[in-house]
Amino acid sequence: MKQHPLCTDCEREVDVNSLPIPAGLKREWSAVETRRQFLGRSGKVLGWAALASLFGETALRGRAVGADVKSPVSSPGRNNLGLPHFAPKAKRAIYLFMSGGPPQIDLLDYKPNLASQYDKDIPDSVRGNQQLTGMTSGQSRFPIAPSHWGFKQYGQTGTWVSDLLPYTAKMVDDLTIVKSTNTDAINHEPAIMFINTGNMNPGKPCLGSWLAYGLGSMNDNLPTFVVLQTKTNPKENNQPVSSRLWSSGFLSSEYAGVGLRSGGDPVLYLADPDGIDREVRRKMLDAVEEINRQTQADVGDPETNARIAQYEMAFRMQASVPELTDLSKEPQSTWDLYGPDAKQAGTFAYNCLLARRMAERGVRFTQIYKRGWDVHGDVVGVLPTLCAETDRASYALVTDLKRRGLLDDTLVVWAGEFGRTVYSQGGLSKENYGRDHHPRCFTTWMVGGGVRPGLTYGETDDYSYNVVKDPVHVRNFNATILACLGIDHNRLTYDYQGLDQRLTGPQPATVIQGLLA
């Protein structure tokens, strides 16, 4: 008598074989059911084994109550994988994600020859067979729009930087600028998924989740992987950004990014309500955990373990997050460096400051999203705002990390999902222009642990349209980031759907040695 393992109605046990259904269906049912039972059973065994290892300490020693409670589930992503594969240069990373696709031609990819080609059509030979977006494919002309802003050389390296980035210009000797980054996708959703997860379709773990899974946590009181969203500026063209980008995909949801809110309480409902003290909260959590453990024992879903771990993390974050976001003890030098924006929660500058504070407190990976770079039109109107919001804060973060001795083992990455076209989208005038999406080349930079300072890597053609030297595909870009953190991208894998999944996908990827220190 076979019964579905999850069926709780014990009084009316349904025997599929006695039902008036085709014999083929019955056969299929019995096959499926056997597999379910097997999976259910093995899940339970695995679940208990996992629980035993997670609870080993508590089971023996009981649990203390108090702010510094140390529960063993408290080691989210406890690292049993034997990583890093080799001694890492960077222990942690901060990723400044410029969502929307910053226009490389107006920022760091200086093309002096374009000025003379104002309003001329980009040669077909340059454009080749590049697919266009629906926004410009109907255009009859592709007139070249030189950058509205001047460029100057900075630093010992003599790197050309746009006048829009006066602060970034001050640190070019520390940066590793990659002008030849390129991607496969031309629209936001696939491109942003691709650079974050190595796949254009949702469902794969993102870089931060791979790091959390592979390297584990450095501290018990804050998440391993934190995502900070910057408050949107309604003047800008903001593309949607949501938790699919920091999803752990098929990895346990323990490894998903924890988003801190950009306004109000950084984490909702983190403060205990009136009348509930730490002890009551602890008791409640213990009771909930007991129930979860029973569920885990009955069903064997590893996500239950993730849930237990997350409750515990939330409990500890009740103490650690207020401390993290309390900026009252920051010295004046901090405000001098980051500027007045940093005092306002939710700004990019504030998030950069939080990222530095999290780096000090052992957060492995912080990703800050700044939306609004999707400048299809009114580049001249919007780009200065975008740069003002991000330029000084990025510089402040790097400088702050550097003077505090954190940059030696922190990798900072600045990137968007793609670049923008040299030709104008919509009308081109001396005063204004627009730029469409461009996947063939875009400019990114990295700085800190593992990468070579003062380097500009890769070259684009005269139109910043094609890469002519040292291309860095997004896959290789991600492989290189992993290498800085001591990970061989080919060996950080997870068996799922019959494939040893990895961040760089099934196609071969290489670490760009030229970028490494």
Partner 1 sequence: MIAAERAAGAARTLTKRSAWAWVVTASAALSALPFLFRLDGRSHGDWLQFLGRFHPTLLHLPIGLIVLVPVLEVAGAKRAALREAADFVLRAALVLALPTFALGYMLAYGAGDAGATVTRHMWGAVVLCIGLMLCIVVRPAWAAREQAFVYPAMLGATLLALLWTGHHGGSITHGSGYLTQYAPRPLRMLIPGAAAEDVGGNSFYALHIHPALDAKCASCHGSGSAKAGLRLDTYDDVMKGGKDGPVVVAGKPEASMLLARVTLAPGDPHFMPAEGRTPLTSDEVAWIRAWIRAGASATATSVPGVKIARDEVEPPPQPVGDYSALVPEIEQMQHGLGAKLVPVSAKASDGLILRTVDKSSSFGDADLASFKKFAPYIVEAELGRTAVTDASFDTLKTFTHLRALHLEGTAVTGSGLGKLSSLTQLRYINLSGTKVTAQSVEALKKMTQLRHVYLFNTAAEGEGTTARSTP
Q: Where does this chain bind partner 1 (CB under 8 A)?
A: 57, 70, 82-88, 218-221, 331, 333, 360-362, 402-405, 408-409, 452-453, 486, 517
Q: How far is Cα 339 from Cα 348, in angstroms, rounded to an integer?
A: 11
Neighbours of 57 (CB within 10 A): 16
Nearest distance from residue 480's CB to partner 1, in Å? Answer: 16
Q: How far is Cα 47 from Cα 62, in angstroms, rounded to an integer?
A: 20
Nearest distance from residue 504's CB to partner 1, in Å? Answer: 20
311-349 burial code (b ≥16 CB/10 A, e <16): bbbbbbbbbbbeebbeeeeeeeebbebbbebbeebbbbb
Return the number of the residue (106 or 220) whose C-beta is nearest partner 1: 220
Return the number of the residue (98 or 401) whose C-beta is nearest partner 1: 401
Nearest distance from residue 82's CB to partner 1, in Å? Answer: 5
Return the number of the residue (2 or 452) whose C-beta is nearest partner 1: 452
Return the number of the residue (172 or 380) whose C-beta is nearest partner 1: 172
Return the number of the residue (83 or 386) whose C-beta is nearest partner 1: 83
Q: How far is Cα 417 from Cα 314, in angstroms, rounded to an integer?
A: 31
Which tokens sit at 220? 């018990």
Return the number of the residue (82 or 234) whose C-beta is nearest partner 1: 82
Return the number of the residue (84 or 505) whose C-beta is nearest partner 1: 84
Nearest distance from residue 83's CB to partner 1, in Å? Answer: 7
Return the number of the residue (70 or 261) whose C-beta is nearest partner 1: 70
Which tokens sit at 515? 């970028």
Cα separation values, 313 from 39, 321, 344, 417, Å: 29, 11, 27, 31
Nearest distance from residue 405's CB to partner 1, in Å? Answer: 3
Query: What is the Cβ-side half-sphere exposure of residue 484, based on CA atoms within 13 angstroms?
Result: 32
Q: How far is Cα 429 from Cα 471, in angstroms, rounded to an integer?
A: 32
Q: Write a three-state SS string for 442-490.
A: EEEEEEECCECCCEEECEECCCCCCEEECCEEHHHHHHHHHHHCCCCCC
End-to-end Cα separation, the chain, in angstroms: 66
Nearest Cα residue to 354 out of 218, 226, 268, 196: 226
Phi, psi of 279 (to 5 degrees): -70, -45
Query: What is the Cβ-side half-sphere exposure of residue 492, based on CA atoms within 13 angstroms?
Result: 32
Return the number of the residue (41 or 403) whose C-beta is nearest partner 1: 403
- Inter-residue contact 104 to 464 (CB < 8 Å): yes
Structure-token match 């056997």, residue found: 34
Return the number of the residue (102 or 450) whose C-beta is nearest partner 1: 450
Nearest distance from residue 408's CB to partner 1, in Å? Answer: 6
Nearest distance from residue 57's CB to partner 1, in Å? Answer: 6
Nearest Cα residue to 104 out of 515, 317, 421: 421
Nearest distance from residue 52's CB to partner 1, in Å? Answer: 16
Nearest distance from residue 361's CB to partner 1, in Å? Answer: 7
Structure-token match 């609870």, residue found: 55
Nearest distance from residue 312's CB to partner 1, in Å? Answer: 13
Length of the chain in terms of residues written: 517
